[in-house]
Amino acid sequence: MTFDGRTMTATLYDNPSARDFFSMLPLDLTIDDYARNEKIAYLPRKLTEEGSGPFGNEQPYDLCYFVSWGNLAMFYADYRHPGLIRLGRFDGGEEALHIRGEFPLRIERM
């Protein structure tokens, strides 16, 4: 994922929603601030919810999908919210999520 000249990497989990997201790549979206703990980006269509369910051990730098709005939720601080499907975790460049503002976002496969 690239925005504002910065690159982040994430490893996706092996679940139906993450595979559906991966099948959509590459994507050109907009990343923006939401609340004080995450950035969001709206996908062009909703992802499958197959295999979704509650999960525990929420941590900063989780990459999630918010079912109700159909958006990516990229957390950089503590969170807890029902209605999320965890897609994966950031494992490089995640400090970029702390930069405030709205930017064009490019998401590509590696």
Residues 44 and 108: their CA atoms lie apart, in Å, by 15
For the chain, the structural domain boundaries read: 2-107
Q: So what's the pLDDT on residue 57?
A: 87
CB-based contact 7:79 (threshold 8 Å)? no
Percent of the chain with pLDDT over 90: 88
Q: So what's the pLDDT on residue 56?
A: 79
Domain 2-107 in CATH 2.40.100.20? The answer is yes
Q: Both tokens of residue 97?
A: 């999520």
- Segments of the chain scoring below 50 in pLDDT: none
pTM of the model: 0.94
Cβ neighbours around 12 below 10 Å, total = 16
Separate counts of helices (H) and strands (E) for the chain: 1, 9
